[in-house]
Amino acid sequence: MSPSRALDELVLRVGESRDREAFAGLFDHYAPRIKALLMRGGASASAAEELAQETLLTVWRKAHLFDPARASAAAWIFTIARNLRIDHFRRGSVTLHELDFHLEAEEPAQPDAILSGAQDAQRVRAAMLSLNADQAAAIEMAFFQEQTHAEISRTLGVPLGTVKARIRFGMMKLRACIERDRGDAS
Amino acid sequence: MSLRRQPSEERLLAFAAGTLSFPEAVVVAAHLSLRPVTRPWADLGAAVGGVLLDDQAPETLSSQARREVMARLDAVEPEAEPRPASADPVLPAPLDQFALGPWRWLGPGVHVRDVLGTRQGDCRVILLKIASGQSAPRHTHGGVELTCVIDGAYATEDGVFSRGDFEEADPSVTHQPKVVSKEPCLCVAALDGQILLPGRLGKLLAPFVRL
């Protein structure tokens, strides 16, 4: 079993039987990484740790809704952490988390969903290696630097249109790569 | 470039990364719920986020962090199943959770209501209802940024937009969409700044109609 599938399995065990040992495994893998990701996004160490704890508690609460055909554990937990961060800084009454519940099982997965069953982190990681350095940098900055595309454009010293094109072609390349990979596998 | 009627890849990545403003995220989520065909792009963004998360060098946690969380587990109830299908068959599911303000008259054949609890800075979400044959309020840069059609259809010089179609405002183009469906056209829009009403009527009303 690949490491990412093993993590999917832990979430499923928590969902099926409130398995505390499986949960502890998820905590040990993800809490330190969520803290790191949020600190890289500019959060203080204490805020990042608190949000990492809240993320794992949300995983405990929602694990039975996790659908591995729709998202990897990593992608699912990433969206939980992302939403909690946004809500933390926005302090609104309605949480973003409720917006993109499509990652959870509200209806059968689309047969043409490119990542169904292939959302395995290994495949996505392999596809990311196919990007050229500029595309990879633009996509990564869009995640970690809490920057708008205009800010990325200033940081890199390239026109806004170039930043958008790098992201767009990078995304298209990722998708093509994953689809080809899935075609080979079937 | 052909008309896409869906958010650009870079906007879908920003949605997945969590860098869109809240109102923009609401309109993108409405589009995703009406157009499953766009979802793989958002899912791809989340998958990339997952890989980046897995690849982070772990940060040290304080000694009690894990114990605190484990101690709280018993008090946490599992979340209820996903909500039932939308109570309103027309509104996209992501809008269900918001209260709506009253319809307000904005001009001939044009009504607007606020989607409450979505404001972030000057940006917020509105529903816009425009009667058959009428034009939407003309907007300038800083007006309607993102639009998703919920019901009916409108046409611009670029083509016809109907249920689920998404349009990103291009600040270099001032177009005035016209409703081409028999029924009114209902849209959800992320609005930044003020809408300008067309013509002399707009100028007269501007001090009274606050959008």
The ipTM (two decimal places) reads: 0.86
Q: Does residue A81 fall inside a structural domain?
A: yes
Which residues share a beta bridge with B119? none
Q: What are phi and psi of B81, to 5 degrees?
A: -55, 160
pLDDT at residue A109, rounded to an integer = 45
Average pLDDT, chain A: 82
Distance of CA B188 to the CA centre of its chain: 6
Nearest Cα to B90, choosing from B158, B149, B161?
B149
C-alpha dist (Å) from residue A139 to A43, A160, B19, B77: 20, 14, 12, 37
Q: Does residue A149 fall inside a structural domain?
A: yes
Return the beta strands (E) in chain B as ranges. 104-107, 110-114, 123-130, 144-151, 153-156, 159-162, 166-168, 178-179, 185-192
Provide CB contacts within 8 A for A147, sequence distance 6+: A141, A155, B19
From A43, A70, A103, the end of a domain falls on A103
Q: For residues A97 and A125, state if they share a domain.
A: no
Q: For residues A7 and A69, state if they share a domain.
A: yes
Tens digit of each residue's pLDDT (9 = 90 or more) over A156-175: 888 888 988 999 999 999 99
pLDDT at residue A101, rounded to an integer = 43
Q: Which domain holds residue A77?
A: 3-103
- B123 contacts B24 by C-beta, under 8 angstroms: yes
We report the CATH number of the domain holding residue A30 as 1.10.1740.10
Higher pLDDT, A32 or A184: A32
Q: Does residue A143 fall inside a structural domain?
A: yes
Q: For residues A95 and A135, state if they share a domain.
A: no
Res A152 pLDDT > 70: yes
AA identity, residue A120: D
pLDDT at residue A103, rounded to an integer = 44
Nearest Cα to A92, choosing from B145, B33, B115?
B115
Q: What percent of chain A has pLDDT over 70?
A: 77
Q: Which of residues 54-93 of B touch A (CB under 8 A)?
A: 54-62, 65-66, 68-70, 72-73, 76-79, 81-83, 93
* Helix segments in chain A, DSSP class H: 3-17, 20-40, 45-62, 73-90, 121-129, 133-144, 149-156, 160-185
Q: For residues A90 and A142, state if they share a domain.
A: no
Q: Does residue A69 fall inside a structural domain?
A: yes
- B149 contacts B130 by C-beta, under 8 angstroms: no
How many domains are contained in chain A? Answer: 2
pLDDT at residue B78, rounded to an integer = 79
C-alpha dist (Å) from residue A168 to A151, A161, B79, B195: 17, 10, 36, 30
Q: Which residues of A touch B54 (CB under 8 A)?
A: 4, 33, 74, 121
Q: Does residue A116 fall inside a structural domain?
A: no
Q: Which tokens go with B28? A: 């993108």
Q: What percent of chain A has pLDDT over 90?
A: 46
Q: For residues A20 and A90, state if they share a domain.
A: yes
Tens digit of each residue's pLDDT (9 = 90 or more) over B159-195: 899 999 999 876 666 667 899 999 999 999 998 776 6
Q: Does residue A110 fall inside a structural domain?
A: no
Res A146 pLDDT > 60: no
**pLDDT < 70 positions in chain B:** 1-2, 81-87, 137-144, 170-175, 194-211
From A69, A103, A137, the end of a domain falls on A103
Query: Do the Cβ atoms of B73 and A146 come within 8 Å?
Result: no
Q: For residues A81 and A155, state if they share a domain.
A: no
Q: For residues A125 and A98, state if they share a domain.
A: no
Which domains, ranges and CATH numbers included, belong to chain B?
1-211 (2.60.120.10)
Tens digit of each residue's pLDDT (9 = 90 or more) over A92-136: 555 554 555 444 434 444 444 445 444 567 788 889 999 999 999
Q: For residues A10 and A98, state if they share a domain.
A: yes
From A103, A134, A163, the end of a domain falls on A103
Q: Does residue A132 fall inside a structural domain?
A: yes
Q: For residues A181 and A148, state if they share a domain.
A: yes
Provide the sign of the torsion angle of the four alpha carbons B82, A89, A73, A11, taken in this order: negative
Q: Which of residues 64-123 of A touch B (CB under 8 A)?
A: 64-65, 70-79, 81-83, 85-86, 90, 92-94, 96, 98-106, 110, 112-115, 119, 121
Provide CB contacts within 8 A for A110, sequence distance 6+: A116, B36, B37, B39, B40
Q: Does residue A67 fall inside a structural domain?
A: yes
Rounded to a whole number, what is the largest CA-CA distance in chain B?
Answer: 67
